[in-house]
Chains A and B, each alone.
Chain A
Amino acid sequence: MAETTVTLTHKDFASDQDIRWCPGCGDYSILTNVQRVMPDLGVPRENFVFVSGIGCSSRFPYYMNTYGFHTIHGRAPAFATGIKCANPDLSVWIVTGDGDGLSIGGNHLLHTIRRNLDLQILLFNNRVYGLTKGQYSPTSRVGMTTKSTPDGSIDYPVDPIAFALGSGATFVARTVDVDAPHLQQILRRAYAHKGTSFIEILQNCPVYNDNEFIEVEDRKQRVNASLKLQDGEPLVFGPESDRKGIRIEDGVPSVVQLSNGQDPIEAGVAIHNERHDTPAYAFALASLTRPNFPVPVGVFRAVDKPSYETMLAAQVTHAIAHKGEGDLQALLESSETWIVEA
C-alpha cells in the first residue's frame, strides 16, 4: 500500500490530543522515545496497536497516532491477547503501570507472559498510585508513608523483573525514563524479540513519589548506582578510578572491588549472558537492589520459544490441511440422522 512506503518520522506517531500528564512526569520522556523508535521498526503505522489499562501511564495510547485501546483496570494484557490472536500481523504494545499491571492485573500479566505471545509489555514503575492521588503500590517500599498508609506501608513489595522471570518470560529488561539512548535501544531489542518482551521502565512521579529513582536517573550518581548489562561483558560498574564488579557464587551475588587495570574475569566477576538455559542467573541479577548493589539496567534474559499466536494459527492451518475447509452442512448432518417422509 502506497501510504506505508512513505518514510515516517516521530511526528507521524504523535496524535492531535493534548497531553494531560503532570509537568515533569517521566511519562513524557517515555512517550517521546517510543515515538522516535516507531518509524525505524519497519512496521506500517496501521499495524501498530497500543493497549493500556487504567492509570496515568494508561493514557498513553491517546497520544500515539496509531490504533489504540484504552481498556479497563489491569486487563490490558487480556485485550492484547485477543487482538494478537485475531491478527498475528499486528505489532501489539501494552502500556501498564505498577498498580495496573502488578496489583489488579497481576493475574493477566502472569498468564500473558507465560503464553509468550509476541508482544511488548512496557511497565512504567513509579512505585506509587498517581491517578488516584498517591496511595502506595505493590512495588512501594516497606515503610512508605502515603494517604492510605499514614503509619507506613507494611506490604512487602513485588519486584517486576523477578515477577516476569517467575512467569517464564522469554525477554526481560529494565530501563530508565530519562536515559533516552538506553530506552530506545531496549525498545528496539524488545520489538525484535519474537515472544513476550517485558520491560520495566523506572519512571519518576514528581507529584507523589519524587526522586524515587534519582540514583539511576542522575548522570553523576548512576555511574555508581547502576549496572549496565551487556551480553558477553563482565558485570562491572563505577568510574574508571573505582571500578567494581559483581561476583555470583551459588546464586548469591557479592560486590568485588577491582584494583586499577585488573581483569574483572580473573577477579571472578560474572560475565553477562542473556541466554542461560534456566532463569536462575537472571533471578540473581534481579535481587541486586540499592543500597548494597547497583541497579541493573538492560536485558536480563532473552531466550527463544515459539509464541502462542503462531502455534494457534498453525493449529488452524494444520486442521484445514488435514480435514479440508470446514463444511457446515456436513457438520450438521454428521453422526446419526434420519429422514421423516412426507
Chain B
Amino acid sequence: MSKSLKALLAAGTLVLLAGPAFAAGDADKGAKVFKKCAACHAVGENARNKVGPELNDVFGRTAGGLDDYKYSKAMAKAGEEGLVWTTGTISEYLADPRGFVPKNKMAFAGLKKDDDVANVLAYLATFSKDAPADTAADAAPAEEPEAKMASAAEESAAPATAGSSTREGGVHGLGRVATAEEVAAWDIDVRPDGAGLPDGRGTVADGEMIFTEQCAVCHGDFGEGVGRWPVLAGGQDTLTRERPEKTVGSYWPYLSTVYDYVRRAMPFGNARSLSDDDVYALTAYVLYLNDVVTEEDFELSKDNFTEIRLPNEEAFIDDNRLEEPHYADKGEPCMTDCKPDPVTVVMRARILDVTPGSVDDDEAAGAGGVD
C-alpha cells in the first residue's frame, strides 16, 4: 500500500476528503470521460464484470470486494487492510492508480485533470445508492481557486516559448548540438540486425510473472487477447483463411520489433515503465507463448537475440501493386455500354448493418478494422 493511502487510512479522514475539491462534478461530462474507462468497466443496468469489475454501487464498496471478480493480490490486500471506495479514495485512485494501490492490475495511467475526476465521480454516483449527495450531478458547481487562476492566466495567454539562438555551422545556423545524454534518452529504437539493443537479459519464467501482472489484463494469460485487444500468440496457418490471426508467431517478421515496441509503448497507458531486463523477459515469454522457444529457463539477452528468427519472416514482399492487371494496362476506361446486362444489386449494407445508430449495432461487431 502506498504511503499516502496508509496516511489516509491512519488519519481516518477518508470521508472528510469528500469536500468541495471532489464534489460538484458534472455527470454528463463524466459520462464522456468514462468512455476512457468503458473498455474495461461497465456501469448501469445489466453491468457485468469485464476486464475490470462492474461499478454499480461502487461508493461504500470495500476494495477487492466483489465475489465474482478476480482482483489483483494488491487490490484484495488493500481491501483487507480497510480501503473502502468513497469520494475521497476513488478520487485519489483515479488520479494515480499505480501510486495509490501499487501493483494493482488496472492498466490505466490515471486522470490528469481534477475536473475529469470530479465528473467521473458524479457520473458513477448516479449508479450508486450510497454516494454522498454533494457528488451528484445537479449540485451547484463550487468555485474552484484553480479556475480563478486560470482565468487570470488567460489575460496574458501568449504561449511560453523556449527561445531560440544561433550557432556556428549548418546552413542557417539554427538549433543547438544535441548532447549524448539527450540522444541516449530518446534513441531507443532497435533494428532486426540488433542495432540499438541494450545490455540486459531475461528468462521466460521472469517474463511470465511480469506478463501476468502487467499484460494479461488486455492480452490474456496466454496471449489470447481479451475482447478486441491484440492477440499475441497462436494463429499459425491462418493467414490464408477468412479470419487470419496475425500474431507475433504467425505474422510478425522480426523479433526486434517486439522488443522495440514493448520498450517504447507498453504497457498501454504506462509506457517506458519497464526495465530493459523486463523487456528481454517479456520478449522471451512471447516467444515461449508462440512455441518459438520451449524451455521456461530460456534466457534472452543482447548476445543471443539475433539468433532467433520468427517463422513468417520470408512471407513479406515489396510493394508490387503496379503489376496488378487493373494498374498494369493503364488503358482508357469504357464509357458506354460497358456491361451487357442491366446491373443488379448483389449485396446491401443493411444485410449486416453495423453502422452506428442502426438498429442492430449494439450487438453487432462488423468485420475488419483499422488495426
Say if A and B assemble together: no
Interface residues of B (CB under 8 A from A): none
